[in-house]
Amino acid sequence: MREPDSRLSLCASFVRQGSRLADIGTDHAYLPVWLCRSGVCPSAIAADINPEPLSRGQLTVEEAGLTDRITTRLSDGLSEIAQNEADDIVIAGMGGELIAKIINNCAFSRDRDKRWILQPMTKSEILIEWLCENGYSILRQDCCVASDKCYTVILAAYTGEHKTRSELYPYLGELCPRTNEKHRRFVDAHIGRLRKQSRGDARFAALADGLQKAAGE
């Protein structure tokens, strides 16, 4: 059984024991195969919007001998996934804006029993801001390094709460850059991007300064 890379491993660590999984944008279906074979998930749906990656996923499932537990499905986001088919939903390997759109377009996105494991490749701040504005709470957040890049994984649930957050929260979320080296590396990348943006808009300089202070500098 091929172990997932550190990015998918972190996603896997957020999945609840015994939950039925939906992996959106599954590509090779490594994550559902890993979670089913390791006994975390009794069943899974490996979904992708494109036929070619889905066929790769189907081959992975067949080679693992898990066709009785993992279904591959052509689906635009969660459009072909029924509410009673999955408990934990992983959406990984795409931009934060697209992840927010997929959740927003899901008919059962406000089911309080669902858990959303989200791994944005870019624009994590846009995703976190959207979650906060739409009644989702971040239950857990962590970071990992894969191919010398630092990524964050977010565990969220719909709670209906609309808390007032600071302007830094979309960049920090529930990370602890003062005490965690990987969290600090992720926040430093935000600071670097904000410094570049500040050349055209001074507001970004203030955000970068605020993040540096929050990180302990």
Tell whether domain 6-162 is in CATH 3.20.20.140.
Answer: no
Smallest CA-to-CA distance from 194 within 174, 179, 215 is with 215
The model's confidence at residue 202, banded by pLDDT at 50, 70 and 90, is: confident
pTM of the entire predicted model = 0.95
Average pLDDT over residues 71-90: 97
DSSP state of 169: H
pLDDT tens string 124-164? 999 999 999 999 999 999 999 998 999 999 999 999 988 78
What percent of the chain is predicted at pLDDT more than 70? 98
Compute the distance between CA of residue 107 and CA of residue 199 in angstroms, rounded to an integer: 41
Segment holding 45, helix H or strand E: strand 44-48
Q: Structural domain boundaries of the chain?
A: 6-162, 166-217
